[in-house]
């Protein structure tokens, strides 16, 4: 061996020529999708503080008594279009606190066979300038809403139910238009301005998806329906137009009972009306996994009935539980919807402009894996049908409700880094859930997972005043920013904030809105979302980096509590595989070796990344003991890892199995003496010293092994070449 001093001097001299070397940085965004900061829109309701519609009638309740409209519709006769044929009353606005900006002059118009009396019912203000055009039968009036008033209820009297001259009684086509608004525009200008900040709008609540009973296209809400509180809520045409106007992608949820013709007609409507530069995200219903909702129970019952009628693919691999059946039923129906949209939009649209989301319960990653593998076995690669997985990773700390003498700081601290395992930012940041969703997405070639509902969630009946302060606290801005960064760093794509618009933060379910008044557009949550649109996307930080040495124990399906207690991976048998989430700053092709123990004379493993097979690595016996701990390095196979996240799958080709301690992807880390300093000349001295059978430098440090390029050969000059190449920011050799 050459003396230590000779190599040490060469190393120090070479380091001077490499003084400009700098460590590589992670890519600033995950490939595959733009950063999308989005929001869900709430249902149209009279008590909503978001004030979605220009025409208050669209948010009005059912017709009731002209003197007591809150009594409901029981005794009011309606015509075929839903208008009263007699004197009637209606609640248009209710339960509004002060300072909501509702004061002003509202324009009223409707058709009537007479000039009726318009009364304010339990309402302050003034009705003025009432008149009727005898040629058109249109009555016009104005309502002057006083400052800081909370509600508007109207009663119509003397509408002449006998209808003189054969004209019908009652009123028709009532419009109550907000001050200064254009009645031809269905969306309130302030609401439109508010949602214009978002890249995508989700219309789940707006289309009354939860508990829907709609199945036929003819049953949907029409634009001229009196109210948008029934059927499918806001008409699809107006939802699409809003997306066009604010340049936002359209996220539509379909009623779970919608038949194929409904799906086809909706696909055509979107295709023909959504601006070409915008995308449509498609989800089958909402949270079908949740048996609280009608859609969950219906799908369960349909799946059970299908199994009872048999045979069916729902029982593939001898599945016997109804939970698995309904997950698969949901996945298949989502696939069928994807196929219909693909047929209507044409070749190349699916997974480009048409983006179908396969959603589930965020806490149950096994649901997604079950659905994906079932689709793969029976219908082909899930990427043919699905754009992305959908999860709802709310930021919550519900356990704080059980504490005594709770403060604002308690909630903010627990939302950031919880003292128990729950939905804090730190919990997700360290959770296997996110790693698995990134790994499943990468293996099947899906886009980064969609957070279909997101944001801080402080639900619960205790400490509501404290919670109201939490959402208005300036520190909420940084909390929300860090939360969004965490989702992106873990492989997430679009983040859909739970509810756009305004609502009270005081109450059991007061967490979800962005502001308490549409006049206040500078709340911490709104400012955070505006920040997210201009800040660089957070660097990815999950999985294990390449080039580098991967811990064989740290596979995707490991036990979160016990995985570090062993020395190697579980035993992998014939046809089984083990997967690892990998991250890379750039696309790289490098040799991969495996440090394994095996108790057979010969065998091999197959290496694959994101569904692509790259080659085999031959193994040999290392021990006669089944499950023994004598390890050797085997390899090499050339493997390409794409930029961003990828999933490395190691597939067993042997019946008796083997275990993996390490996977060497490319060269080792250049911090050879493990002092935490990279591109450090001392690492060169240390490497060359150990190579020449000398001590580590410094002697108190622990140096790595000298097989730097992990080819299984030690005291190999190629390791020196590789080390110096990587140190100078060159490739692994």
Mean pLDDT lowest for which of 131-145, 291-305, 330-344, 561-575? 561-575
Question: 364 and 285, same structural domain?
Answer: yes
Cis peptide before 547 (omega within 30 of 0): yes
168, 185, 202 - which closes a domain: 185
pLDDT, position 460: 92
Phi and psi angles of residue 317, each rounded to the nearest 5 degrees, phi first = 55, 30
Question: 347 and 255, same structural domain?
Answer: yes
Distance CA 498, CA 555 (A): 32
502, 536, 562 - which closes a domain: 502
Question: 392 and 245, same structural domain?
Answer: yes
596: in domain: yes
Distance CA 78, CA 691 (A): 92
pLDDT, position 657: 87
Question: 273 and 147, same structural domain?
Answer: no
pLDDT above 90 (res 714): no
Element (H, E) at 243: helix 236-246
The predicted-structure confidence for 371-413, as pLDDT tens digits, reads as follows 999 999 999 999 999 999 999 999 999 999 999 999 999 999 9
Q: Residue 149: which CATH number?
A: 2.60.120
Question: 389 and 311, same structural domain?
Answer: yes
Mean pLDDT for 403-429 is 96
The predicted-structure confidence for 474-489, as pLDDT tens digits, reads as follows 999 999 999 999 999 9
pLDDT, position 1: 30
pLDDT above 90 (res 157): yes
Question: 381 and 256, same structural domain?
Answer: yes
415: in domain: no
Nearest partner of 537 among 441, 433, 644, 415, judged by Cα:
644
536: in domain: no
Distance CA 221, CA 218 (A): 8
The predicted-structure confidence for 311-335, as pLDDT tens digits, reads as follows 999 999 999 999 999 999 999 999 9
Six-digit token string for 423: 């939905």
Six-digit token string for 553: 């124990």
Dihedral sign for Cα 326, 327, 332, 336, please: positive
37: in domain: no
Dihedral sign for Cα 665, 666, 668, 669, please: negative
Nearest partner of 457 among 490, 426, 429, 424, judged by Cα:
424
Residues of the chain with pLDDT > 90: what percent? 80
pLDDT, position 712: 63
Mean pLDDT for 501-511 is 91
User: Cβ(652)–Cβ(575) under 8 Å?
Assistant: yes
Residues of the chain with pLDDT > 70: what percent? 93
pLDDT, position 16: 30
pLDDT, position 559: 94
170: in domain: yes
Six-digit token string for 7: 């190599």
pLDDT, position 79: 94
pLDDT above 80 (res 733): no
pLDDT above 70 (res 9): no
pLDDT, position 18: 29
The predicted-structure confidence for 651-690, as pLDDT tens digits, reads as follows 999 888 899 999 999 877 778 998 988 788 999 999 999 9
pLDDT, position 8: 33
Cβ neighbours for 20, distance < 8 A, ≥ 6 positions apart? none
Mean pLDDT for 192-214 is 97
Question: 384 and 280, same structural domain?
Answer: yes
198: in domain: yes
424: in domain: no
**Partner residues linked to 449 by β-bridges:** 492
DSSP for 368-401?
Answer: HHHHHHHHHHHHS-GGGT-SEEEE---EE-GGGG
Question: 686 and 604, same structural domain?
Answer: no
Q: What angle do CA 288, 294, 300 make, to 5 degrees?
A: 60
DSSP for 70-123?
Answer: GG-STT--B-TTS-BSSSEEEEEE----SSSS--EEEEEEEEESS--EEEESS-
Higher pLDDT pick, 99 / 111: 111
Nearest partner of 194 among 527, 625, 524, 518, judged by Cα:
518
Q: Residue 617: which CATH number?
A: 2.60.120.260
- CA distances to 37, 187, 192, 316, 375 from 534, in Å: 10, 27, 20, 47, 38
pLDDT above 60 (res 2): no
pLDDT above 90 (res 258): yes
The predicted-structure confidence for 338-355, as pLDDT tens digits, reads as follows 999 999 999 999 999 999
State which residues form the domain around 85.
Answer: 56-185
Phi and psi angles of residue 623, each rounded to the nearest 5 degrees, phi first = -155, 155
Question: 247 and 112, same structural domain?
Answer: no
471: in domain: no
Question: 322 and 248, same structural domain?
Answer: yes
Mean pLDDT for 605-610 is 96
Mean pLDDT lowest for which of 28-37, 67-76, 544-553? 28-37
Task: Read off the pTM.
Answer: 0.89
Hunting for tokens 């007061």 — which residue is that? 510
pLDDT above 90 (res 704): no
pLDDT, position 20: 28
Q: Can you state the percent helix, strand and coil of the chain, rounding each to 5?
A: 30, 25, 45
Q: What is the mean pLDDT of the chain?
A: 91
3-state secondary structure 68-80: CHHHCCCCCCECC
User: Cβ(48)–Cβ(190) under 8 Å?
Assistant: no
Structural domains in the chain (count): 4
Question: 492 and 437, same structural domain?
Answer: yes
pLDDT above 70 (res 28): no
Mean pLDDT for 189-214 is 97
Phi and psi angles of residue 189, each rounded to the nearest 5 degrees, phi first = -60, -40
pLDDT, position 19: 28
Question: 333 and 242, same structural domain?
Answer: yes
Helix, strand or coil, per DSSP, at residue 404: coil
139, 154, 185 - which closes a domain: 185
pLDDT, position 35: 64
718 band by pLDDT with thresholds 50, 70 and 90: confident
pLDDT, position 10: 32
Distance CA 390, CA 504 (A): 27
The predicted-structure confidence for 609-650, as pLDDT tens digits, reads as follows 999 999 999 999 999 998 889 999 897 899 999 989 999 999
Mean pLDDT for 602-613 is 95
3-state secondary structure 244-297: HHHCCEEEEEECCCCCHHHHHHHHHHHHHHCCCCCCEEEEECCCCCCCCCHHHH
Mean pLDDT for 530-536 is 87
């Amino acid at each position: 061996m050459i003396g230590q001093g000779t190599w040490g001097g060469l190393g120090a001299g070479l380091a001077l020529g490499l003084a400009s070397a700098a460590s590589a940085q992670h890519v600033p965004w995950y490939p595959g999708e733009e950063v999308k900061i989005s929001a869900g829109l709430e249902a149209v309701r009279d008590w909503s503080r978001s004030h979605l519609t220009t025409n208050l009638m669209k948010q009005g309740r059912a017709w009731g008594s002209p003197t007591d409209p809150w009594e409901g519709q029981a005794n009011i006769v309606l015509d075929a279009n839903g208008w009263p044929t007699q004197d009637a009353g209606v609640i248009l606005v209710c339960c509004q606190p002060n300072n909501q900006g509702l004061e002003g002059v509202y324009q009223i118009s409707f058709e009537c066979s007479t000039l009726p009396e318009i009364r304010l019912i339990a309402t302050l203000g003034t009705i003025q300038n009432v008149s009727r055009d005898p040629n058109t039968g249109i009555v016009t009036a104005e309502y002057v809403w006083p400052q800081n008033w909370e509600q508007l209820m109207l009663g119509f009297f003397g509408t002449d139910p006998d209808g003189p001259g054969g004209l019908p009684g009652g009123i028709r086509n009532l419009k109550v238009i907000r001050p200064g608004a254009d009645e031809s525009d269905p969306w309130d200008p302030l609401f439109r301005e508010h949602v214009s900040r978002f890249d995508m709008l989700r219309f789940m609540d707006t289309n009354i998806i939860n508990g829907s009973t709609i199945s036929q296209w003819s049953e949907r809400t029409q634009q001229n329906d009196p109210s948008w509180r029934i059927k499918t809520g806001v008409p699809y045409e107006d939802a699409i137009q809003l997306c066009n106007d604010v340049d936002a992608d359209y996220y539509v949820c379909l009623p779970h009972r919608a038949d194929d013709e409904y799906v086809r007609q909706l696909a055509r409507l979107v295709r023909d009306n959504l601006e070409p530069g915008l995308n449509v995200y498609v989800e089958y219903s909402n949270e079908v996994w949740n048996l609280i909702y009608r859609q969950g129970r219906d799908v369960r019952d349909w799946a059970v009935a299908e199994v009872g009628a048999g045979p069916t693919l729902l029982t593939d691999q001898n599945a016997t539980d109804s939970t698995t059946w309904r997950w698969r039923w949901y996945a298949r129906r989502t696939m069928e919807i994807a196929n219909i949209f693909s047929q209507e939009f044409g070749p190349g649209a699916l997974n480009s402009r048409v983006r179908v989301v396969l959603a589930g319960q965020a806490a149950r990653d096994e649901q997604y894996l079950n659905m994906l593998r079932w689709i793969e076995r029976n219908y082909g690669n899930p990427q043919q049908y699905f754009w992305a997985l959908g999860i709802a990773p709310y930021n919550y700390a519900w356990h704080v409700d059980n504490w005594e003498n709770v403060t604002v700081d308690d909630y903010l601290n627990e939302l950031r880094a919880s003292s128990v395992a729950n939905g804090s930012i730190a919990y997700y940041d360290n959770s296997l859930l996110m790693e698995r969703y990134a790994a499943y997405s990468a293996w099947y070639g899906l886009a980064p997972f969609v957070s279909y509902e997101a944001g801080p969630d402080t639900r619960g009946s205790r400490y509501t005043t404290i919670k109201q302060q939490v959402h208005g606290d300036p520190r909420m801005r940084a909390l929300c920013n860090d939360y969004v960064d965490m989702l992106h760093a873990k492989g997430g794509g679009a983040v859909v904030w739970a509810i756009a618009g305004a609502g009270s933060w005081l109450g059991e379910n007061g967490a979800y809105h962005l502001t308490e008044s549409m006049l206040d557009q500078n709340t911490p949550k709104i400012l955070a979302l505006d920040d997210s649109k201009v800040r660089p996307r957070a660097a990815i930080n999950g999985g294990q980096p390449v080039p580098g040495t991967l811990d064989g124990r740290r596979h995707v399906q490991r036990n979160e509590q016990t995985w570090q207690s062993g020395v190697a991976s579980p035993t992998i048998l014939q046809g089984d595989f083990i997967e690892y989430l990998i991250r890379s700053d750039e696309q790289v092709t490098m040799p991969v070796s495996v440090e394994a123990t095996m108790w057979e004379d010969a065998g091999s493993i197959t290496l694959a990344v994101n569904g692509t097979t790259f080659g085999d690595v031959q193994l040999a016996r290392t021990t006669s003991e089944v499950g023994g701990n004598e390890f050797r390095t085997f390899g090499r196979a050339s493997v390409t890892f794409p930029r961003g996240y990828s999933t490395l799958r190691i597939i067993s080709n042997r019946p008796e199995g083997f275990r993996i301690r390490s996977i060497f992807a490319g060269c080792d880390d250049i911090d050879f003496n493990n002092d935490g300093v990279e591109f450090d000349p001392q690492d060169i001295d240390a490497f060359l010293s150990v190579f020449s059978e000398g001590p580590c430098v410094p002697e108190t440090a622990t140096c790595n092994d000298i097989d730097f390029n992990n080819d299984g050969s030690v005291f190999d000059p190629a390791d020196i070449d590789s080390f110096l190449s990587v140190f100078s920011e060159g490739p692994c050799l």
